[in-house]
Chain A
Amino acid sequence: GDSVTQMEGPVTLSEEAFLTINCTYTATGYPSLFWYVQYPGEGLQLLLKATKADDKGSNKGFEATYRKETTSFHLEKGSVQVSDSAVYFCALKGSGGYNKLIFGAGTRLAVHP
């Protein structure tokens, strides 16, 4: 079945450092890919998405490119801030029906001043 694998956390960075969180997926057909962010004590918020190969999703300085050849959707940010500290989830929606999201295990990011 469909699945998502994320790099294990926690990821600890200093402010203004470069961030990469790796995400790879297994799916049949042409899934849509998402990054969600969960701040402490809150629900999940959509960060960005890409619906077809070579699409780049971007939001709040974060970017991810849908790479079908490597089945990857790595999240990047050039300069992280303390306020980016959160848990980041990579997710896919399969090309079948019902809009069911399959989530990765989540990666906790801690940014220190």
Chain B
Amino acid sequence: AQSVTQPDIHITVSEGASLELRCNYSYGATPYLFWYVQSPGQGLQLLLKYFSGDTLVQGIKGFEAEFKRSQSSFNLRKPSVHWSDAAEYFCAVGAKQAGTALIFGKGTTLSVSS
């Protein structure tokens, strides 16, 4: 079955500390992988995406993610968290075929402590 697992429901990180959010996927085809961020009451904003090539991808707001095919993982990282990063983060997987829906994980809520 196709699925995305985000093992951590809620993470609290001190401001200035590093962050890693985990994402594991199960997908039959070559996966296209995404991380989105959602602030309360808002839609989703694309942070970064991986289609092919370099397995370390850079995104907006200083985020990066590494695709590890052998581990079926696409973990999101940030070296130094800012209070404004507090939000909900969703990992998603899709395929290149036209019209394929994205499959989302249940999300990880990030809280930032001062």
The answer to whether A binds B is no
User: Which residues of B come within 8 Å of A, CB atoms?
Assistant: none
User: Measuring CB to CB, which residues of chain A are less than 8 angstroms from any residue of chain B?
Assistant: none
